[in-house]
A and B are shown apart, each in its own frame.
Chain A
Amino acid sequence: MTATKEHVTIKGNKDGLIFLFNDHCEFPVLLSELQYKLEKTHQQILSGPTINVHIKLGNRDLNVEQEEKIKKLVSNHGNLLIQSMESNQKDIKEENHDLKIIKGIIRSGQSVHYETPVLFMGDVNPGGLISSTGDIYVMGSLRGLAHAGKTNTGNKEAIIAASYMKPTQLRIANIVSRSPDESADEGAYMEFAFLEDDHMQIGKISELHKVRPDALQF
């Protein structure tokens, strides 16, 4: 293993370690260099208390398999704990911003996924699932599960809006929020869900332009 050009840079800060990955080299090169560094040149970081690791992917976007490989490699080294994996490019590069308009009804046991933001004209019933890499707007009753921002790394800017909001569960990126267990309460009209500091929040549709000025602008 020659490391003439560094593809993996490991830096420390007060929170733990930052792994900076070069985004021009091939993925296997990156992976083997990471392994080399963890095992040969940076063994000293592998003992001692748990260290938080933040991985910065630059403009590289990983697929699920690649992401798994990195996670596995890092977690194989005892005390390293991945806290985040971030890519600058990912949303811009991969996501299709064209709003798709769909009509129908998503019944119990049915699921649909869109690689675009979606305007769904109809109901999503309990036991039904709608997911999208971007925003989800349900013009109808949302009684099932909606998962917005469902990308490899999770798009936390995504929102879920519904004419009638009484979901069994909402997910945005990797954040899950379920309906209160005392389900007696009525649903609400014209609301949307969004993430604020990784917490699911609900607002009136009329507030959407303040919370997400960029939503629905294509």
Chain B
Amino acid sequence: MGEAIVITSGKGGVGKTTSSANIGTALAMLGKKVCLLDTDIGLRNLDVVMGLENRIIYDLVDVVEGTCRIAQALVKDKRFEELYFLPAAQTKDKDAVQPEDVKKIVDSLKPDFEYIIIDCPAGIEGGFRNAVAGADKAIVVSTPEMSSVRDADRVIGLLEASDIKNPKLIINRVRPNMMKSGDMMDIDEVCSILAIDLLGVVPDDQQVIKSGNIGEPTVMNPTSNAAVAYRNIARRILGDSVPLMALERKKGVFYKLKKIMGIG
């Protein structure tokens, strides 16, 4: 029986779709059977990031309305045998889908896949409730900016009030030199506010934008820093204990001690 993981954030543009595509692809690279599910009705773009837009025949709303069966709507990835994608509708009314519908669809995917990665729309309204309805676990994405952290916090509160316990955190678009100079919140600060487990830290990387444009997830690119981060995240999801990369590491106790004693 597969596990459904929703990728959410509250705020838009912080990297939910990027994370969904890369984590899904990284899990497939590690030999897992994965289905990506886009629930961002009306603003779908997981298909574009995955480079699968031209293969879409049916979508989520078609499945909900009974126009087609799930199997007919699933788009097979062009790179990995065991990676599939269920697109959101682009043109239809977003009220066409209710949380029970999404839950039913996710439940019916579970026997056939090891991981179902659900890309959540921004906001905390209907679209969020749809995305969360079928999920067993959640990953919250935030950038190291106060507005993003605050929205992530809001979402964590909502998740904790639902059946989804212990959401995990990805901090995206980190710029180590800006953190060092104090122009960006540092990892410690974000973690201490959100107070949930850190699953990984993804650097700000131009390759991500390039990859998005050519429809090939960054994680496939061996020269990208973000790719390494996403591969590590996928391995942590599988239960490996991969140490945090240098930029992810929190300042040690010793560092703090030195700071207090004024010799840091």
Contact = CB atoms under 8 A, between A and B. Distances in A.
Contact of A143 (B157, B160, B193): B193
Interface stretch (A105-113, A147-155, A174-182): A105-113
A126 interface: yes
A163 to B, nearest CB: 12
Contacts of A123: 193, 195
B153 A107 contact: yes
A58 interface: no
B179 to A, nearest CB: 15
A83 B170 CA distance: 53
A127 B192 contact: no
A110 B22 CA distance: 32
Contacts of B195: 105, 123
The residue in A108, A109, A143 that gathers the most chain B C-beta atoms within 10 A of its C-beta is A108
B193 A110 contact: no
Contact of A126 (B150, B156, B157, B158): B150
Dominant SS among interface residues on chain B: helix
A125 B155 CA distance: 13
Q: What is the interface residue range for chain B against chain A? A: 10 to 19
Contacts of B192: 141
Contacts, number: 33
A39 to B, nearest CB: 51
B154 A126 contact: no
Contacts of A141: 192-193
Interface residues of A, number: 12
A125 B149 CA distance: 10
B154 A109 contact: yes
B146 interface: yes
Given A125-B193, A143-B193, A108 B146 contact: no
Contacts of A126: 146, 149-150, 153, 193
Interface of B: 146, 149-151, 153-154, 156-158, 160, 192-193, 195
Interface of A: 105, 107-110, 123, 125-128, 141, 143
Given A108-B150, A126-B149, 19 more contacts: A105-B195, A107-B156, A107-B157, A107-B160, A108-B153, A108-B157, A109-B153, A109-B157, A109-B158, A123-B193, A125-B153, A125-B193, A126-B146, A126-B153, A127-B150, A127-B153, A141-B192, A141-B193, A143-B193
6 contacts: A107-B154, A107-B156, A107-B160, A109-B158, A125-B153, A141-B193
